[in-house]
Structure 1
Amino acid sequence: MKFKITISPFHVAKYLTLGIIFLTICSIAIQIGKYVFDYREPWTRIFNLDREMNIPTWYSGLMLVSCGLIIRGIFSIKKSESDRWWRQWRTLSIIFFVLAIDEIASIHEILIIDDLADALNLPSFWHSVWVIPGTILVAIFIWKYWKFMLYLPKQLKRYFIIAISLYIGGALGMEMVGSYYDGIDGQQNLVYAMLATIEEVMEMMGCVIFIYGLLTYLGELSPGIQINFQIKNKDLVE
């Protein structure tokens, strides 16, 4: 049996964005309820963008996995064409799978150690210590991928730069802003919650823009991509 599935990059991006809007509205409502009306029921953690291992976390993680899978498809095409950059595509897909694991498991949160930051006498915006190795890794990535990005088609390059700027701006930039504000007035207030919300929204929108750009590029590379599903039934009696 054969069936055809048509994927529109625009519609994928639209529905992913609607999901982000829904989660953002829920999170803001929960934060207002918590800090203005003192409504602190346990169920609210499920939609709180400032918490881990909940619906927004899995939503972000699955978008990162999607980026990795789409890049994996591009890598397969580039390798078959003996493109000079196919190894960079393969590594990029691995990076996104690692980011997805980190997002879902919150591995980087292990490095948020206030005592360590105090012992090292770090500025308040570096109190989330993980931003230091994170910044170093971003610098290494830009250094390694600079020529690769120059090679990209103009349209994909634009989406690539916008997506990375949003994601890194949220993950590192807003994390430092939040840490700075934490040093002034702590985390248990509405302002900090809104800063954390902006951080997560920037990361998620970066993923949406990247998915849109990748799907558009993949469609240009191979408009009629075929995915085959085959089910083998093993005989019960041999």
Structure 2
Amino acid sequence: MAIRIPDKFPRKLLVICLLIEIALVMLFFLTALFSEQGGLLYKLFNLDYEKNIPTLFSSLQLAAVGMVFFVMSRELTHDASLPISFDITVGAGFLFLSFDELLSVHERITSSLKHIDYLPRFEGDHGLWVAPYLALGILLLLILRKPVLHLLRTYRRESLIMLLGAILFVLGGVSLEVLSYELIRAHDYPWYVYALEVAMEEFLEMVGISIVLYGSLLLFKARSLDGGE
């Protein structure tokens, strides 16, 4: 049985995700202000912590994007310009990012690579994961360049929406993290400066994923209407 996405579902899901993200940021500030530091509520909603509610939410969003591409690989027809391997590879990539978010794989990579002196890093030996992830991302883009260019030509609106989301995700996950470690955490700024940076960093990441999810659902609908190619 073919899977169909209701016309208003992608937009409604985007709005719901954005409302949840705004709520998570507000809870982050409220628990930082009024709950005991190190207490359960503080840990559950701290955007700078791992394995808590914001992390689970981000992980679920990334997994949802991966599942959309896996469903496209099964439900749609493919040709040489947009092969099934493209959908499977992109789906697997987002599932990996989901597990990374949930299990802090990049933090484990940072710990295991500290002894390699020539790898670029942030202040205090943080961010060692950025270089290998960036190299892998560039390699995948080179391998998938033909189907990516086909998507940009054929499904420009949907592709540009996903690209916008990816840019916001990287801006939050990498650019603001560089700013945090190099300029904020290395100095004795008031706690609210650090809190604002963390909130902006994580909010951009979550919003970016939401937009990518929205774009992937629009892409599914558009490809379905075109006969799946």
Name the TM tier (shorter chain): 0.7 to 0.9
Separation in 1, partners of 2:221, 2:70? 14
Q: Which residue of 2 aligns with 1:211?
A: 213
1:178-216 Cα distance to aligned partner (Å, 9 max, x none): 221355226993322322222211111111111111111
When normalised by structure 1's length, the TM-score is: 0.78
Deviation larger for 17-26 or 111-120: 111-120
Gaps (5+ residues) in structure 2?
none
Deviation larger for 137-146 or 183-192: 183-192
Cα 1:88–1:121 shift into 2, 3 Å? closer
Separation in 1, partners of 2:41, 2:73? 41
Structure of greater Rg:
1
Q: Which residue of 1 aligns with 2:169?
A: 167
When normalised by structure 2's length, the TM-score is: 0.81
Residue 113 of structure 1 contacts residue 128 of structure 1 at CA under 8 Å; is this kept in 2? no
Deviation larger for 83-92 or 20-29: 83-92
Cα 1:141–1:92 shift into 2, 3 Å? same
Residue 62 of structure 2 contacts residue 94 of structure 2 at CA under 8 Å; is this kept in 1? yes
Deviation larger for 186-195 or 89-98: 186-195
Match of 2:87 among 69, 72, 89: 89
Q: Which residue of 2 aligns with 1:156?
A: 158
Offset of residue 90 of structure 1: 0.9
Cα 1:191–1:114 shift into 2, 3 Å? farther
Cα 1:83–1:143 shift into 2, 3 Å? closer
Q: Which residue of 1 aligns with 2:136?
A: 137
Matching residue's letter, 1:141: L
Q: Which residue of 2 aligns with 1:23?
A: 24
Matching residue's letter, 1:20: E
Residue 69 of structure 2 contacts residue 90 of structure 2 at CA under 8 Å; is this kept in 1? yes
Q: Which residue of 2 aligns with 1:235?
A: none
Count of residue correspondences: 216
**3-state SS, counterpart of residue 184 of structure 1:** coil
**3-state SS, counterpart of residue 114 of structure 2:** helix
Match of 1:200 among 194, 199, 202: 202
CA RMSD in angstroms comes to 3.0
Cα 1:5–1:150 shift into 2, 3 Å? closer
Are 1:65 and 2:63 matched, yes or no? Answer: yes
Identity of aligned residues (%): 23
Separation in 1, partners of 2:188, 2:143? 38
Residue 134 of structure 1 contacts residue 172 of structure 1 at CA under 8 Å; is this kept in 2? no
Residue 117 of structure 1 contacts residue 129 of structure 1 at CA under 8 Å; is this kept in 2? no
Residue 185 of structure 2 contacts residue 194 of structure 2 at CA under 8 Å; is this kept in 1? no
1:211-238 Cα distance to aligned partner (Å, 9 max, x none): 1111112123336xxxxxxxxxxxxxxx
Separation in 2, partners of 1:188, 1:83? 56
